[in-house]
Amino acid sequence: MKQLLKTLTETFGPSGYENAVRDVILEEVKPLADEVRVDALGNLIVRKKPSAGAKSPKKIMLAAHMDEIGVIASHIDKNGFVRFTNIGGVFGKYTLGARVRFLNGATGIIGYDHFEHVNDAPPINKMYIDVGASSNANCPVKVGDVAAFDRPYIEMGDRLVAKSMDDRSGVLVLIETLRAIKSTQNDLYFVFTTQEEVGTRGAGTAAYGIDPDLGIAVDVTATGDTPASQKMVMELGKGPCIKIRDAGMLSDPRMVEWMIQTAEKAKIPYQREVLLFGGTDAREIQTSRAGVIAGALSIACRYVHSASEMVDYGDLKNSVKLLTALVSKDVNL
């Protein structure tokens, strides 16, 4: 799992440019799937059919997004410095001084050389990317070129740190769940979605096409276990989080109860999640067509939307166990 997570997080795939990430996933899931297809928005849809003799299979959509936050070049000045804007939730406090890698291979450092308020994070429209150029003519970046933050995966004991844990950790959980399921009473659609960070776009079209009975998003959630954090109960190492509410949705109470009962029966540690900000693909799944019973399984993550997002290895393993237990057997919702 750790080697695959390293590969996933170190692959670059900002929203709308998920191709390289999809290729990595496809190599893992193709031998495990009954059907594989890619839709018009680039979602990778992997089907695991119900076992022979399944009496009343539920069509279940499991979603984890492939994309990560990034930046896009908007202007290059005469000295070759690149102005940029955001793709997704890029925060100034994490951006200044960061390294980025463009999809064409060019690298750069994000700078801001005005030191009157050195301890304040400037807005990103005041920053620039230094790509080592000396003029517009020898700048390796053009307007419209896209980049993601550039940091290697590292392990700190059971704490795993990388860019794009949001949501490559969720992608990992879906892949490992598919690997763990030998048979199922349900019709399962493992969907690796695009463009979540810019408005959960891929999940909406995928859910419309699949028309599931149930939907579960697998994504990260912020924690309340650091010194200056907001008062939330989610912590690293305490198990997968069962979402009750975030800024984009209220989980269906039937879904919440089913997930809690399954975790308790299987003796899997879990946490109750009320997230004060942000959302997941579950929002789009829930409101697709005439509506879907939907919820989310979340992985506690520190420093979300930074280039050093941190998750716990035990939480990943327990997330796979819980998701496998949920979708393997008959579902009566």
**194: which DSSP letter?**
S
Handedness of CA 45, 178, 330, 239 (dihedral sign): negative
Separation between Cα atoms, residue 61 and residue 64, nearest integer Å: 10
What amino acid is encoded at 291 in this protein? G
Residue with tokens 């942000």: 278
> Given phi > 0 = left and psi -120 to 50 = alpha, else beta, which region is 70?
beta
Separation between Cα atoms, residue 184 and residue 168, nearest integer Å: 25
Separation between Cα atoms, residue 43 and residue 295, nearest integer Å: 20
Tokens of 183: 């048979």
- Residue 149, beta-bridge partner list: 100
The catalytic position among 28, 68, 176, 196 is: 196
* 196 has catalytic annotation: yes
Q: Where are the alpha helices (DSSP H) in the chain?
A: 2-10, 19-29, 92-95, 165-180, 201-210, 253-265, 282-286, 313-328
By annotation, the residues acting in catalysis are 196
